Amino acid sequence: MVALFTTAFHFSFPWPAQVYAVINKYPNPLAPHVITMDVVDRSVLPDGTVRSERIIGIRQDSPRWIRRILGAPDITYAREVSFIVPASVASPSTPDLSPSLTLLEPPKLLMASTNLSLSTLLQCRETISYIPHPWPFLPAPTRRQFAPQLSVRDERMNAEDGGELPDEDDDDGNEPYPSAKDTDHPLSHPTMPPTTLFSQSALIFSTGVIAADHYPPYGVAPDCTVKPETFPPGATYPQRAAGKKVEDFSKSRFEQNASGGRAAMEWAAGKLWRDIETPDGGE
């Protein structure tokens, strides 16, 4: 059975500062398990999008039974691809509209990663997005794709306050969040909202001889280039049970790492904010 993990959060730094922190997140004392970060490619696409590809080395602390099932080495590797997407016109099919801030899709930092090590037995496919918030005009499809849980949370908060739940296509769910970082800092900007929405999801599933379910799992395209070597019908019940146990453990560990990752991200953003604001160490 596929394990699906989702979470959402807001950072109290403007989007430019948060993106800068993501790029310079490591080394980080709150993420000591990340021991290497190698940039293998960085390019600017024709539309101005900055594409980066990195290989991340992670020191594993899995329990002994996981190591026995997977044959996990001490250091495993993951591939991460990110896109820093500039703001764009929300409706390109209507060129007569005057481009202004209220007609722009927000800039986005979109990230996707997957494990390279042990991928024939277990796969973890993670997606992350960072978008500025509150944005003057956030189309419903964009909100559903990049900030679904925060939209639901806003709707629940409105209902608890005695208000009515907004329609699915209503933008009233984009309530502003308080922030103490609304300044003239170099990583801020007068037209940029003071906070950043963070949305994360992960699909975790066993493959190969310990596949616990049929391939492809929900959310993975049938023509995906990464396929397991065997299918559940060819595996024994103990193998499928082991795969299910590995999936459950991996989801639990991912939830722990996600919480630690947000703390590490806040630490990196705060440090860079202070270092740039007072480069000489002054108050």
- Integer CA distances (angstroms), 196 to 84, 92, 106, in order: 14, 25, 11
Cis bond upstream, residue 29 (ω within 30): no
156, part of any domain: yes
72, part of any domain: yes
Measured between alpha carbons, how far is 275 from 283 in angstroms, rounded to an integer? 11
**How many other C-beta atoms are found inside a 10 Å radius of the C-beta of residue 61?**
9
282, part of any domain: no
Q: What is the pLDDT along the chain (283 residues), one digit of tens a residue?
A: 566 778 888 888 889 999 999 999 898 999 998 999 999 999 999 989 999 999 999 988 777 777 777 777 888 999 999 999 988 765 545 444 454 445 578 899 999 999 999 888 888 999 999 998 887 777 777 777 776 655 544 444 433 444 333 343 444 333 433 344 546 677 777 777 888 989 888 888 888 888 887 766 666 666 666 555 555 655 687 888 888 888 888 888 888 888 888 899 999 999 888 888 665 554 4
Report the candidate in 194, 245, 217, 146 with the shortest Cα–Cα distance to residue 16.
Answer: 194
pLDDT of residue 110: 95
Measured between alpha carbons, how far is 213 from 227 in angstroms, rounded to an integer? 13
283, part of any domain: no
Q: What share of the chain is helix, strand, coil (3-state, %, to 5)?
A: 30, 25, 40
pLDDT of residue 81: 96
Measured between alpha carbons, how far is 35 from 27 in angstroms, rounded to an integer? 7
Domain CATH for 143: 3.30.530.20
**What residues are paired with 85 via a beta bridge?**
108
Specify the number of domains making up the chain.
1
160, part of any domain: yes
Domain housing 181? 3-277
The kind and range of the H/E element at 49 are none
Measured between alpha carbons, how far is 202 from 111 in angstroms, rounded to an integer? 12
Measured between alpha carbons, how far is 156 from 168 in angstroms, rounded to an integer? 13
pTM: 0.79
- Integer CA distances (angstroms), 85 to 75, 187, 188, 217, 230, in order: 32, 17, 17, 29, 38
Amino acid at 199: S
Q: Coil, helix or strand for 78? A: strand
Buried residues in 248-276 as b, exposed as e (16+ CB within 10 A): ebbbebbeeebeebbebbbbbbbebbeee
**How many other C-beta atoms are found inside a 10 Å radius of the C-beta of residue 96?**
4
| Cα pseudo-dihedral 173, 178, 183, 186, rounded to 10 | -60
